[in-house]
Amino acid sequence: MATTTITPQAPWTPERIAEQTRRFYEIYTRDAAAIRARHAAQTAPEAAALRHKYQQPVFGEIPTWTLFEMMARVIDTADDRLYCTSQEIHILQVIEAMATDGMAREEFVLAALVHDLGKVCMLKGESAENATYMNSLLATADPGAGLEQCTLQWSCDDLTWSRLKNYLPPHVAWLVRYHGISPRESAPYMDARDRDYAERFLAPFQMYDLFSKSPFGRPRTRLEDYRPIIEKYLPPRIVF
Ligand SMILES: [Fe+2]
Ligand SMILES: [Fe+2]
């Protein structure tokens, strides 16, 4: 049965704000937890099927900037830190948190701009349980063999990496690909390069990616402000 979300427009009182916030919070967090649980249960055959599916373009060749504009329409329903906040806002919150800490080096800003771009596949009907959240290891190689030898669950991280890897500096491409792993789970399988990148890039990036999220954090900058960085690294049109 559908849950009624409309109440007669009484004035906003602290009680009404608290009541409505609690109700929406409960619905959202319950649904988000269910989506995350389904992603966590993604099996190796399901991941392989998604990897195969996304060898085909989602949009074909399209203006690169259009992809970034689409992020304003993407809401990650698995994310119970952002709630209905768009992925465009998420990008800006990450960058601004980095800037506050003096961490907004170009490589980190570039990673923040592109890291979740694959979530645009949800605008073409992909489910959030396939496209978002953390990725666990499905098959491991020998300890120390390198993450490239392991198989991860599939999500937008893989999609973003596969489309952008040829344009990004190697360490940024690596960061995009692995920004949703558990460092603790993956550490035994990392090779020397993985460990170096994990320490220098993944550890700080995950902190800003996760902990800058808020439905109340209004960005002070616009995506357009960072367009020169996008245009410096990515071509004007891209097959995505
Ligand atoms: Fe992500
Ligand atoms: Fe993110």
Distance 215 CA to ligand 2 centre (A): 14
Q: Average pLDDT, stretch 160-181? A: 98
Out of 4-18, 151-165, 170-184, pick the least confident.
Answer: 4-18
Mean pLDDT of 148-152: 97
Distance from residue 156's CA to the centre of ligand 1 (Å): 7
- Would you say residue 179 has pLDDT above 60? yes
Rounded to two decimals, the pTM is 0.94
Domains of the chain: 14-239 (1.10.3210)
Q: Is the pLDDT of residue 39 over 70?
A: yes
**Span from the CA of 189 to the centroid of ligand 2 (angstroms):** 24
Mean pLDDT of 120-140: 96
Q: How far is the CA of 215 from the centre of ligand 1 (A)?
A: 17
| pLDDT in the model for residue 5 | 67
Check residue 9 and give its pLDDT.
73
The CA 206 to ligand 1 mean position distance, Å, reads 9
Residues having C-beta closer than 5 Å to ion ligand 2: 116, 209
pLDDT tens column, 89-115: 999 999 999 999 999 999 999 999 999
Q: What is the mean pLDDT of residues 148-163?
A: 97
Res. 10: pLDDT tops 90: no
Length of the chain: 240
Half-sphere exposure of 72 (CA within 13 A, CB side): 7
The pLDDT of residue 16 is 87
Q: 181 CA distance to ligand 1 centroid (A)?
A: 10
Q: Which ligand does the CA of 91 lie closest to?
A: 2
Q: What is the pLDDT of residues 53-81, one digit of tens each?
A: 999 999 999 999 999 999 999 999 999 99
**What average pLDDT does the chain have?**
96
pLDDT tier for residue 84 given thresholds of 50, 70 and 90: very high
